[in-house]
A and B are shown apart, each in its own frame.
Chain A
Amino acid sequence: MSTQLLLGNDAIALGMVQNGCQVVTAYPGTPSSEILAGVVKFKKQLGREIYTEWSASEKVAFEVALAASWSGLRSATAMKQVGLNVAADPMFSAAYTGVVGGFVIVPCDDPGPISSQTEQDSRLLGLTAKVPVFDPSTPAEALAMVKDALELSERHRLPVILRPTTRVCHAVQSVEVNGSAQPFIPARPGFKKDPQRWAATPGFRLKLHHELNAKLAAIEGEFEKSPLNFISNLQSSISDQSEIRNQRLGIIASGVAFTTAQEALADFGAPVPILKIGTPYPLPRKLVTDFIAQFERVIVIEEPDACIELQIPDRTRVSGRLDGTVPNAGELSPEVVMSVLAEALDRVGVSVPPPPDDEALGAIIQSLKITPRRPRLCPGCSHRSAMYTMKHVFGPNAIYPGDIGCYSLGTNIRAIDTFVDMGAAVTMATGFYHAARFTDDKRPIVAMIGDSTFLHSGITPLVNAVHTGARFVLLILDNHTTAMTGAQPTPANDYSADGDLAAKIPIPDIVRACGVKFVRIADPYDHEPFEALLKEAQTFTQSPEGGVAVIVADRPCVLYDRAPITENPLPVVITEQCDGCRYCVEAFECPALVLRADKSRVDVDYRICVDCGQCIDACYKGFIVPKEAVGSMQ
């Protein structure tokens, strides 16, 4: 045993490696991305044989891991919460068919949302699909729960969800780690044919549904006795504050809301009993009902939605998200939990100290009008160059469907009008084109999608666009990596998750195979040829024989491959004539171009400037110039 600092996602990864998972797959997405990287790290450290895969999408990841389970191996798959939407189809089916080797699905929820398009609750997707759910509060608990989840999955032959939230995934905790743990190696029977189950027709699916219900009933029975569900503060509740002794108030909590509530109650000196739920689905209803029966009022605190609360058979004494006692949107920050608990305690006559916020200080800070600095594309990012030229060619009126990735930040410079979900740039462009016939809309449509997103969910939409005769320009921003989530490889890279060689699938080949007749590859750093190409593409979409025109904007991400810039640097200076007109700051938005506090001019922040020289075109007055040019003038 040793105590180590573990990131929540590393704790989950270590749990997978220590407990004998032999196939682990994932598609990157915040806050889940470090899990597969952790599995690669620990398998190398501990010398374990594990197949790891950055899959093309979450559905792919799910099914590859599922087949491993059907082959008798322990397996796992990780994704962000919206990724589970993509993998929902196989999950619903796999709940019916069941599994063989332990199979754990790790969808990482994002209350807030901090880096997602929704605040959806994967526990509720588990409930809908009838897949049991574990809900860890800390990295240490997540590590332990991986084992519990795998064993439950094997015992009942069901897929099982382990659902952390951002504050578990990205928490770092000192955790006791059993370094000598021998991996569990299950029997390896290989895939055993059983077409009635693995290829079940609708007739047999009804039988499987009955079987699934029976499994869930048995699991609920196990959860009634599970040490993952326990009452905290029960002993200490028989203490000084008489109102609490009379059991007027109880709390049910799970996930990070549990530790947050625990801390708040400790700070209040109000030891209200908390029923901590580690297994929110299927809810151990007897345990919960018996707990509620002891109190006049019970408040359920959970994230990001009402999974436990919805399953409580009798909610007469229960408050939570459903009646507005707990806010039904946004993260349950310590401040929110504290105010919910303070109000509840006040109702039972226990007064608590007011929050320690200093209002005067808050007012002074507010008067300074300080807002959080918004994320921006990095200095040297080729997406900025592509978008700047695109806007220059097509103007402010064109319709710009966008997609999910770093380039979503193009909204800052008004280069994106829509994003929906992975791949929607292509489908929304198709839909806008077909709708425009009825609205007599002649505006150009220019869609933008990244390399990883295109390979994830852009190919089928592109086939559909070509087949239906849609006409628009599609920019595939190919920076050779999944940049936003930390540079995971895509199928267009020649290496795999663990760094081994892998078959490279070139994006232009795929585009041509989708039936696209106009396919060009260009470096967005070369503004003039890139601009000419965009115009040519637009002409193609309007020509009689035209259709979808695809330009692959090819330039590696500056964070992970700076060689093309360092080999060919173009340092710039801003001349004395700069009048602080802000055009470059707003239209180009490079973090290294900084407007002076007195707004008199723009300076280059050379601490972060990468000498890409791309901003030379961002000053239409010609005040941003190559350093060499100035040198030669002197």
Chain B
Amino acid sequence: MERKLIIAGIGGQGVIYATKVLSQAALMRGERVMASENHGMSQRGGSVMSYVKIGGSDAPLIRRGTADALIAFDRVEAIRNLPFLRAGGSVFVNGADGLEPAVMTRLNELGIGVHAIAADARAKELGSAAVANLIVLGFAAAHDGLGLTLGDLKEAAQALGPARALALNLKALETGAGLAAPRPTLEWVGEGMT
């Protein structure tokens, strides 16, 4: 099955590491992978995004209106990259507040599910702000939004290392997955809402 995923955030939020985890997980399932990363200037605190195509073509980029899922580590970057999603796709966004009401209404009409998670706060509870990216990934996997299971991501994180961060990385993936409730759309998992 072909999947097109967009990962978005700000330089320093681990967009590239998240891309590696997704690509590695797909590779370990024996699937074809074509991903595309941002390097260089944009890593200096600027908007960063990457594309992951699993089981699809060799073209490195994803056209607007065709992505199955958008995984965003920042609310503003989530909104900016919404046009990549196809009707019926999903957004997984780090942020307690979900997205702007005007956006939500239109996304609902397009059948695009929005799943928000306060990953920064959860990451802090785990002892490292840096693992918010993996919490969002685990959350998305548990929603069946990636075509990759939590187990796939954990195996990939194990293969990628580094060993010293492994326990924390696995915990972050599990934490995210644990916060995913089996509801289809318009769902918040944030402070004050569980």
Are B40's CB and A259's CB within 8 A?
A: no
B66 at the binding interface (Cβ < 8 Å): yes
**A5-B23 CB under 8 A given contacts A170-B36, A356-B65, A361-B103:** yes
Taken together as a complex, chains A and B put the C-alpha atoms of A58 and B100 apart, in Å, by: 49
Closest partner residue, chain B, to A256 (CB atom): B60
- CB neighbours (8 Å) of A355 from chain B are 63-65
Are B59's CB and A260's CB within 8 A?
A: yes
A370 at the binding interface (Cβ < 8 Å): yes
- CB neighbours (8 Å) of B33 from chain A are 5, 172-174
- CB 8 Å contact bits of A352-363 with B (1 = contact, 0 = none): 000111101110
B10 at the binding interface (Cβ < 8 Å): yes
Taken together as a complex, chains A and B put the C-alpha atoms of A18 and B88 apart, in Å, by: 45
Are B59's CB and A263's CB within 8 A?
A: yes
Determine, out of A178-186, A375-383, A563-571, the stretch whose residues face the partner at the interface. Answer: A375-383
- CB neighbours (8 Å) of A365 from chain B are 79-80, 82-83, 103
Are B46's CB and A374's CB within 8 A?
A: yes
Contacting A at CB under 8 A, from B48-72, are 57-66
- CB neighbours (8 Å) of B40 from chain A are 30-31, 33, 114-115, 484-485
A68 at the binding interface (Cβ < 8 Å): no
**A338-B38 CB under 8 A given contacts A5-B24, A172-B19, A259-B57:** no
**A375-B45 CB under 8 A given contacts A334-B62, A335-B64, A358-B106:** yes
- CB neighbours (8 Å) of B106 from chain A are 358, 360-361, 364
Closest partner residue, chain A, to B76 (CB atom): A370
A3 at the binding interface (Cβ < 8 Å): yes
Are B87's CB and A409's CB within 8 A?
A: no
B193 at the binding interface (Cβ < 8 Å): no
Contact of A174 among B32, B82, B87 (CB under 8 A): B32
Taken together as a complex, chains A and B put the C-alpha atoms of A339 and B187 apart, in Å, by: 36
Are A608's CB and B60's CB within 8 A?
A: no
**Number of residues on chain A facing chain B (CB within 8 A):** 57
- CB 8 Å contact bits of A308-335 with B (1 = contact, 0 = none): 0000000000000000000000000111
Contact of A373 among B23, B38, B47, B66 (CB under 8 A): B47
Taken together as a complex, chains A and B put the C-alpha atoms of A30 and B11 apart, in Å, by: 16
- CB neighbours (8 Å) of A361 from chain B are 82-83, 103, 106-107, 110
Q: How far is the CB of B27 from chain A (nearest CB, A)?
A: 5
Interface residues on B, range: 35 or more
Are B57's CB and A262's CB within 8 A?
A: yes
Contacting A at CB under 8 A, from B18-44, are 19-20, 23-24, 26-27, 30-44
Taken together as a complex, chains A and B put the C-alpha atoms of A30 and B38 apart, in Å, by: 10
Taken together as a complex, chains A and B put the C-alpha atoms of A114 and B38 apart, in Å, by: 9
B102 at the binding interface (Cβ < 8 Å): yes
Taken together as a complex, chains A and B put the C-alpha atoms of A587 and B44 apart, in Å, by: 18
Contacting B at CB under 8 A, from A447-485, are 484-485
Taken together as a complex, chains A and B put the C-alpha atoms of A514 and B87 apart, in Å, by: 64
Q: How far is the CB of B83 from chain A (nearest CB, A)?
A: 6
Are A357's CB and B83's CB within 8 A?
A: yes
- CB neighbours (8 Å) of B31 from chain A are 174
Contact of B66 among A138, A170, A356, A591 (CB under 8 A): A356
Contact of B76 among A360, A373, A378 (CB under 8 A): A373
- CB neighbours (8 Å) of A486 from chain B are 39
A48 at the binding interface (Cβ < 8 Å): no
Are B64's CB and A356's CB within 8 A?
A: yes
Q: How far is the CB of B1 from chain A (nearest CB, A)?
A: 16
- CB neighbours (8 Å) of B171 from chain A are none
- CB neighbours (8 Å) of A5 from chain B are 20, 23-24, 27, 33, 35
A22 at the binding interface (Cβ < 8 Å): no
Are A409's CB and B82's CB within 8 A?
A: no
- CB neighbours (8 Å) of B19 from chain A are 172
- CB 8 Å contact bits of A567-593 with B (1 = contact, 0 = none): 000000000000000000000000100
- CB neighbours (8 Å) of A174 from chain B are 23, 26-27, 31-34
Contacting A at CB under 8 A, from B73-96, are 76-77, 79-80, 82-83, 86-87
Closest partner residue, chain A, to B77 (CB atom): A373
**A259-B60 CB under 8 A given contacts A174-B27, A365-B82:** yes
Are B41's CB and A484's CB within 8 A?
A: yes
- CB neighbours (8 Å) of A608 from chain B are 12
Contacting A at CB under 8 A, from B98-141, are 100, 102-103, 106-107, 110, 120, 129
Closest partner residue, chain B, to A172 (CB atom): B35
Q: How far is the CB of B10 from chain A (nearest CB, A)?
A: 6
Taken together as a complex, chains A and B put the C-alpha atoms of A270 and B88 apart, in Å, by: 25
**A373-B57 CB under 8 A given contacts A172-B23, A174-B32, A355-B65:** no
Are B45's CB and A373's CB within 8 A?
A: yes
Q: How far is the CB of B19 from chain A (nearest CB, A)?
A: 7
Are B41's CB and A375's CB within 8 A?
A: yes
Contact of A372 among B43, B47, B61, B107 (CB under 8 A): B47
A607 at the binding interface (Cβ < 8 Å): yes
- CB neighbours (8 Å) of A264 from chain B are 63
Are B11's CB and A259's CB within 8 A?
A: no
- CB neighbours (8 Å) of A510 from chain B are none
Taken together as a complex, chains A and B put the C-alpha atoms of A504 and B165 apart, in Å, by: 35
A137 at the binding interface (Cβ < 8 Å): yes
Taken together as a complex, chains A and B put the C-alpha atoms of A170 and B48 apart, in Å, by: 13
Closest partner residue, chain B, to A3 (CB atom): B27
Taken together as a complex, chains A and B put the C-alpha atoms of A373 and B48 apart, in Å, by: 9
**A364-B102 CB under 8 A given contacts A259-B60, A608-B12:** yes
Are A30's CB and B39's CB within 8 A?
A: yes
Contacting B at CB under 8 A, from A383-412, are 406, 409
Which residues of A pack against B, CB within 8 Å?
Answer: 3-5, 7, 30-31, 33-34, 114-115, 137-138, 167-168, 170-174, 256, 259-260, 262-264, 266, 333-335, 338, 355-358, 360-362, 364-365, 367-368, 370, 372-378, 406, 409, 484-486, 591, 607-608
6 A/B residue pairs, CB under 8 Å, sorted by A: A31-B39, A171-B37, A173-B35, A375-B46, A591-B45, A608-B12
Enumerate the 4 nearest inter-chain pairs by beta-carbon distance, A residue then B residue, closest first. Answer: A356-B65, A30-B40, A375-B46, A334-B63
Query: Given A31-B39, A373-B10, 6 more contacts at CB 8 Å?
Result: A114-B40, A172-B36, A264-B63, A334-B63, A356-B64, A372-B80
